[in-house]
Every structure is written in C-alpha cells, then in structure tokens.
Structure 1
Amino acid sequence: MSDRTTWYESLNEPQKRGQATEAIIRSAFVLRDVPVLVPAYDNEPYDLVVEIAGKFLRIQCKTAYQKSEGTVAFETVSTRRRGDGYDRTGYDGRAEYFAVYDPINDNRYLGPVSEAATGKMEIRFRDSANGQHAGINWAKEYLFDKRLAALRP
C-alpha cells in the first residue's frame, strides 16, 4: 500500500478526506492555469467553480475508493443526515462536473455530472476478469488532463 493511501486512511473523518481531495483537485486546476473560485460557505452543492474558455463550471469534488480489483468508485449523490434518516440528493442541475481524486492510483478524473450513474459511479483502470467491455467507464476516458483539454479551445 502506498503512502498516500495510508495517509488517506489515517484521516478518520470523512470531512478531512474531503478537504484533502478538494486541495488536490484545486491544485490540479491551478497548475494547469485554470482560475479557481471557492464558495464562501460550505453548504453549496459544489466545491469549486472554474473558468474555462470564458465559461464558469461548478465542480463537485469526490474521493474514489477501491470497489474491486481494477476498479474505483465514487458517490454521485450528496448524503446528509436528517432527524428522520438520510437525504440523498443528486447533482443534476447543481454542478456540471465531478472532479475525482483516486488516492489508490494517484489519478485525477473529470467527468460530466450528466454522464454519471445514479448513486455511485465505477471507473475501471484494468480489464475485467470476464473480459467484459460494454457499458464500462474506462479510466483513460475520464483522465483529468484529457477531459480538461477537450474543454479548452
């Protein structure tokens, strides 16, 4: 297990892992000369706003976790605890992109909210044991730099 995975696991509170992910994603945009705006409050349905080609895009940052061999996943809903249970809300119309940090492989992914599965999205970075290829979200299609380049003129 790599040091970065150990560091993430040592952050016992989900909020701390989220803060670490947001910092990593924010720095990925800044290093690529993309302006980043951060909401003043923590109750927005997005974590960052970036300006690309004169457009402002709302970004929801997520931390990936190992789902199975060769696959990582992330939650595509916001879960808030309520007095009568949990409220799970999607991001359609509330953010344009998910920016995902995978601490297992040290990868960053960028994908439109409109392409994400409801509840959870899996990203595969190795072929599956059964050789299935249809309906798979391949990591190479969501790599941060590839998606960012497609957004730029």
Structure 2
Amino acid sequence: MPDRSEHFASLEEPQKRGQAAEAIIKSELVSRGISVLVPAYDNEPYDIAIEVAGDFHRIQIKTAFEATTEGAVRFRTRSTRTKSSGYEREGYQVLIDFFAVYAPRCDESYLIPIEDAGDTQMTIRYERSKNNNSKHINWHEDYRLDETLASLGSNPIR
C-alpha cells in the first residue's frame, strides 16, 4: 500500500501539492490537540493561526523539496506573485511567526520560527553530509513539529 509521501508525489499540479501540504500540517496540529484557525480570506500573509498555551501564532505553510545536496530538504521563505509587470517577491518578516513545512521526501513536518529562516530559502538536513560538515546546519530534529510545540508550552501527544 502506498504511503503518504508516495500519494503526495503523484500529485502533478503545484496547487494540489500546496493544498495537500496544508491539509497534512493542519491534521498534524489538530491530532496533537492544537486549535487551528483559518483566515476567512486568502489575502493574508499567513495560511493558519494556532493557539498554544493561550498565545496565538501566525503560520505560513510550505512544502519542502529535495535540496541539491543529498540528505537535505529545502523550502522557499519568500512569496512569489505574478503581476502584469513581472514577478513580485516578498519576504514574511514581521508578517508571520512560523513556517510549518511538510517534507514529503522524509514524510516529516517541521515548525520553524521566522527568525531562524533565511531571507530566500532554508535547508534542513536529515542526514549527515558526505564531508561530515556540522557547522551552521539546520538539523531536522531541532525543528520537528513536536519539538517546537514543546518549546511553546504545548504538551503534544506522542
């Protein structure tokens, strides 16, 4: 029987992949007892808001793709919109609190504080690099959903 990441990979349209990533992230949060709020309109810079320990957090949901280096995934930290004059690229600083990221390659979900994300993209490593570099690495275990939720005062169901 195909697993979730195989089903995800079979989606051909980028919009469907984005919708699937949003559904997966929402499901992961709800299954941990986290309240998920969805804006009434889609023109907000965040896709959802969550309430954890009485605090609200704005979240932009992204899909991670395989990075150019083996053992890592990457996601974009900028919004790109098509305009009549070309493309408009905009960052999320001060507009959101976290990126929630679904990585189909390793079927993991991450919750990354905006201040930890790069200006244009972020790479998360789930395996050691071939040259064993360990400096300035964003390790997946530091950003797994349960780890970040625990730091926010939530007691996620494990």
Superposition TM-score tier, normalisation by shorter sequence: over 0.9
Q: What's the counterpart of residue 146 of structure 1?
A: 147
Q: What's the counterpart of residue 122 of structure 1?
A: 123
Q: Secondary structure at the match of 1:137?
A: coil
**Are residue 87 (structure 1) and residue 96 (structure 2) matched?**
no
Q: What's the counterpart of residue 9 of structure 1?
A: 9
Q: What's the counterpart of residue 66 of structure 1?
A: 66
Tell me which amino acid in the other structure corresponds to 2:49. Answer: V
Q: What's the counterpart of residue 113 of structure 1?
A: 114
1:76-121 Cα distance to aligned partner (Å, 9 max, x none): 0111011111111111111100000011111011110111011110
1:48-94 Cα distance to aligned partner (Å, 9 max, x none): 00001111100110101111310000010111011111111111111
Q: What's the counterpart of residue 136 of structure 2?
A: 135
Tell me the distance in 2 between the aligned counterparts of 1:3 and 1:55: 34
Tell me the distance in 1 between the aligned counterparts of 2:85 and 2:113: 32
Tell me the distance in 2 between the aligned counterparts of 1:19 and 1:74: 16
RMSD: 1.3
Q: After TM superposition, give the deviation of residue 21 of structure 1 in Å.
A: 0.6
**Are residue 97 (structure 1) and residue 123 (structure 2) matched?**
no
**Are residue 28 (structure 1) and residue 21 (structure 2) matched?**
no
Tell me the distance in 2 between the aligned counterparts of 1:29 and 1:10: 24
Q: After TM superposition, give the deviation of residue 4 of structure 1 in Å.
A: 3.3
Q: Secondary structure at the match of 1:26?
A: helix
Contact 1:4 1:104 (C-alpha < 8 Å) held by counterparts: no
Q: After TM superposition, give the deviation of residue 3 of structure 1 in Å.
A: 4.3
Tell me the distance in 2 between the aligned counterparts of 1:122 and 1:33: 28
Number of aligned pairs?
152
Tell me the distance in 2 between the aligned counterparts of 1:88 and 1:114: 18
Q: Secondary structure at the match of 1:149?
A: helix
Q: After TM superposition, give the deviation of residue 7 of structure 1 in Å.
A: 2.5
Tell me which amino acid in the other structure corresponds to 1:145. Answer: D
* Long gaps (5+) in structure 1: none
Q: Give identity over the alignment, percent.
A: 51
Tell me the distance in 2 between the aligned counterparts of 1:10 and 1:91: 29
Tell me the distance in 2 between the aligned counterparts of 1:12 and 1:92: 30
What TM-score comes out, normalization by structure 1 length?
Answer: 0.94
What TM-score comes out, normalization by structure 2 length?
Answer: 0.91
Misfit runs of 4+, over 3 Å: 2-6
Tell me the distance in 1 between the aligned counterparts of 2:150 and 2:9: 32
